[in-house]
Each structure stands twice: as C-alpha cells, then as structure tokens.
Structure 1
Amino acid sequence: MYAVIKTGGKQYRVAAGEKIKVEQIAADVGQEITFDEVLAVGNGSDLSIGAPLVSGASVVAKVVSHGKHDKVRIFKMRRRKHYQKRQGHRQGYTELEIGTINGAGKSKE
C-alpha cells in the first residue's frame, strides 16, 4: 500500500517502512506526526485519487532526525565588470519514517 502526501509545498509518494527527507518540520525527535493532506492512496491495482484530497485518509510518520542538506554554492559573475559574488545555502530537513497508511474509499470534493 502506498500514498501520495503533500507537505512543505511538495508531493511525496510514500509506503509503510520507508524513510524520507522532507522540508523542516517543527517537531521533536521521536514524535509522531499525522499527515491529513493525502492526494492519492493505492493498493495493488486499486487507486483512489482525491479531488483534491482523499476523505478520511491519513499517514502517520515518526520523526527520526533533523539535519541540513549539502551546501549549494552560488557564484555570480559579470565578466570585465569587476563583479563577483559568492554565496552558499544549506537547506534544513526532517527525516521521517513512515508508519501506517490509513486509506479511505471515496474522494472529497
């Protein structure tokens, strides 16, 4: 069984037992989080697609850790203009372990 959830402005396809890294969530390590924004739930050949959300569906996940991704280096330069700018960025993430997927039947309008 799998589900498509929405968090942090992105969509993720998740299955029970998987570990995923999502945008930083304000939660403690070990805390359980419930995602109610479920866009689709699939089980084998059966697929329930929401319009826009699947009613009654939810995904429970446990916070494993917090961290930062690798540094992204930004370099801007204008040739012959004596202009160079260096910048870096490290995006924070929350690692989740997907627990249970509670699927429901019909889509919500």
Structure 2
Amino acid sequence: MYAIFESGGKQHKVNKGQIIRLEKINLKIGKIIESKKILMLVNNKKIYFGNPFCLNKKILMEIIKHDRYKKIIIYKFKRRKHFKKKQGHRQWFTDVKILDII
C-alpha cells in the first residue's frame, strides 16, 4: 500500500514506516500530525484518485527531527562591470516517519 500526498507545494510517494524529508513544519519533535491532502491511494488492487483530494483518507506522521540542508552558494557576476555578489543559503527541513495510511 502506498499513497501520494501533497506537502509544502511538493508531492511525495510514501509507504507505511518510511521516513521522508518535508519542508519545515513548525511543531515540536514527537508530535503526531495528519495530512488529508492525499492525491492518490493504492491499496492492493484498489486505486483511489482524488478530485483534487481523496475523501475520508489520511496519513498519520510523527515528527522525528528538524535540521538544515548543506549550504548552497548563490554567486552573481557580470563581466567588465565590476559587479560580484556572493550569497549563501541553508534551507530548513523536517524529517517525518509515516505511521499509518488510513
């Protein structure tokens, strides 16, 4: 059984027990959350499609940790204009464990 759901403007394919990385969720570690934005659910031979989301279906997730990705460097340069700009960015993320797909 697997599901495709939406979180943070992105779509994720998940199985029960899987650990995935989502955009930052502002809740404490250990908190159990649920997502009702399920786009598709496959259960053995039955397939449920949402329009846009499946009704009466949800995914239970537990927040494991919050952290930041490795730093990326944004470098802008225009030749012969004496223009250089260097900027770094570290994006926040949240690791969650899929407890159940209902």
TM-score interval (norm. to shorter): over 0.9
- Between the aligned partners of 2:56 and 2:46, the Cα distance in structure 1 is 17
Amino-acid identity (%) = 34
- Between the aligned partners of 2:34 and 2:65, the Cα distance in structure 1 is 16
Does 1:37 find its partner at 2:65?
no
Higher mean displacement: 1-10 or 39-48: 39-48
* Displacement after TM superposition at 1:70 (Å): 1.0
- Give the match's secondary structure for 1:11: strand
Gaps of 5+ in 2: none
- Give the match's secondary structure for 1:54: coil
Aligned position for 1:24: 24
Aligned position for 1:97: 97
- Between the aligned partners of 2:101 and 2:46, the Cα distance in structure 1 is 15
Aligned position for 2:88: 88
What is the TM-score when the length of structure 2 is the normalising length? 0.96
Amino acid at match of 2:58: S
Gaps of 5+ in 1: 103-109
- Between the aligned partners of 2:88 and 2:57, the Cα distance in structure 1 is 39
- Between the aligned partners of 1:89 and 1:44, the Cα distance in structure 2 is 42
Higher mean displacement: 39-48 or 6-15: 39-48
Aligned position for 1:107: none
- Between the aligned partners of 1:85 and 1:69, the Cα distance in structure 2 is 22
- Between the aligned partners of 2:54 and 2:36, the Cα distance in structure 1 is 9
Does 1:66 find its partner at 2:66?
yes
What is the TM-score when the length of structure 1 is the normalising length? 0.90
Higher mean displacement: 41-50 or 71-80: 41-50
- Between the aligned partners of 2:44 and 2:92, the Cα distance in structure 1 is 34
Amino acid at match of 1:78: K
